Amino acid sequence: MPQKTLTDGAVTRAEEAPPAASPRRWWILAIVAVAQLMVVLDATIVNIALPSAQADLGFSDGNRQWIVTAYALAFASLLLLGGRIADLFGRKPAFLVGVVGFAVASALGGAATGFGMLVTARALQGAFGALLAPAALSLLNTTFTDARERARAFSVYGAIAGAGGAVGLLLGGLLTDALDWRWTLYVNVAIAVVAFAGGWVLLSNHRDAAGAKLDVPGTVLVASGLFTLVYGFSNAETHDWSSPLTWGFLLAGGLLLAAFAWWQTRAAHPLLPLRILLDRDRAASFLAVLITGAGMFGVFLFLTYYLQLNLGFSPTKTGAAFLPMVGALMVTAQLGTTVLLPRIGPKVVIPLGFAVAMVGMAWLTGIGVGSDYVTAVLPQLIVTGVGLGLVMPPAMQLATGGVAAEDAGVASATVNAMQQVGGSVGTALLNTLAASAATDYLAGRDATSKLVQAQATIESYTTAFWWSAGFFAAGAVLAFVFFRRGVPEQDAAAAQVVHM
């Protein structure tokens, strides 16, 4: 027991010190990482299996995008609600319910007998992922109290968040080639069993915002606002930007989110306390995650098409082609969060990462019809991975660090929402720009020539890569402007440990 001094009634330093770190914290990190991998890879694992699923279930090309979009819509629109539920009712039940629900939805999708059943399952995956993801991220923030250990934990988490899409492509290719497209969904059941067993044993329930109440009007406003925003950008893929189904939903989404921001200044128990956004470094980190999500899709989406359609790679080989980028990202994730960020601060590290990623994407525009992977793709992917590793994990750490414990879940949810919305915006915008570039290239040329068609496709890819490079360039400038100088201060009392 800590001893009290009799002088002035003061307590000893032992009593004033923050609680000791959980002895199970590294096991908790492993379980959280497994759960996060399941959520992140599901954003891409189904992409490679889509042609097989389409042939099996017989749905149209126009409906194909909704297999991907249903997941993003549910995930992005419900994230803040999921984060607040974790704060109000406890992270352990939120985590476990999220894992079980995700597994059941995955099994339902794997057993789908038609398009409607598959889309419903994907939407349910997104909904339960919205409960699971913020609970997982906030567990890291409250479990790791030592600044150095927290940095290491977030480097692992950030690397998974950044590289999970590429892992999904590889795993999706392997499962589709070796077994069947349905196993890209069934595999989640096996992952969920591990995550649930670990969570049940290692976690204990802790409610940091137990006295608060759920902000129902705020929940409705932000969920509907994010839904209509993502829906509007998704419509841009199949409709023109001038279509009311595109700009109408975008406008409605913007108005709903503005109404949500207004309501948060008046609500007694706000869903997203504005104090979370008022910290300059945290707001800059949210912006960095948003831009990274938008730019990363230029790598995954269009390079996947290029490798399969132009270079003739199989689904498995396509996924493996991204592994060097994953390796580079994981190495620099450790370097960025544990070495560079504590020494030189985010004002240097994150703009540097964006600048390196920009160089990688600009270099990637040199691909051609007869290019070779080893010379025209591999070095560029590694450079891009190095850059993203210096952005994603440090930004995630700064976005969730230093918040009050009762706000950890909703801060974590905001990070995930930024990544999802950024990815949705990037997908729609880059798809539209790439399609326009291909159309412009074909104008006045022999559209029946296979060589001209192939070159038009290359033109669409390189246009997307240039725009991704532009996103990263904007990220470098904005990060340099908004991040504070120096090393972020560590507030030991900000997010107290959850006793496990």
Q: Domain check: are 312 and 439 in the same one?
A: yes
- Quote the CA–CA distance of 379 and 386 in Å, as a whole number: 11
Q: Which residue in 281, 277, 279 sits closest to 264, CA to CA?
A: 277
Task: Give the per-residue pLDDT at 129.
Answer: 86
Residue 4 lies in a domain: no
- Do 392 and 450 belong together in one domain? yes
Tally of structural domains, the chain? 2
- Helical (H) or strand (E) element with 448: none
| Residues of the chain where predicted confidence (pLDDT) is lower than 70 | 1-23, 43, 60-65, 141-142, 145-148, 150-151, 158-159, 161-166, 204-213, 237-238, 298, 404-409, 488-500
Q: Which amino acid is at 236?
A: A
What are 4-49's pLDDT values in tens digits? 444 444 443 333 344 455 667 778 788 887 887 777 777 677 777 7
**In this structure, what CATH number is given to the domain that contains residue 195?**
1.20.1250.20
Asked whether residue 425 is assigned to any structural domain, the reply reads yes
Query: Do 364 and 445 share a domain, yes or no?
Result: yes
Identify the pLDDT of residue 453.
Answer: 83
Same domain? 200 vs 254: no
User: Is 230 within 8 Å of 421 (Cβ atoms)?
Assistant: yes
Q: Give the pLDDT confidence score for residue 17 in this predicted structure.
A: 42
Instruction: Indicate whether 240 and 130 sit together in one domain.
Output: no
Residues 281, 243 share a domain: no
Task: Verify that 243 and 348 share a domain, yes or no.
Answer: no
313 in the same domain as 185: yes
Q: What is the per-residue pLDDT across 249-285, written as a single tens digit (0 to 9) for each? A: 889 988 998 998 888 888 877 777 777 777 788 888 8
What's the pLDDT at 476?
Answer: 94
Do residues 449 and 475 share a domain? yes
**Among candidates 225, 32, 220, which has minimal Cα distance to 136?**
32
Same structural domain for residues 284 and 263? Answer: no
Does residue 83 lie within any of the structural domains? yes
Tell me: do 115 and 228 sit in the same domain.
no
| Cβ–Cβ under 8 Å, residues 235 and 245 | yes
- Residue 2 inside a domain? The answer is no
- Tokens linked to 232: 């509007």
Domain co-membership, 206 together with 236: no
Q: 55: domain range?
A: 22-214+271-482
User: Is residue 14 one of the residues assigned to a domain?
Assistant: no
With b for 16 or more beta-carbon neighbours within 10 A and e for fewer, the 414-424 pattern comes to: bbbbbbbbbbb
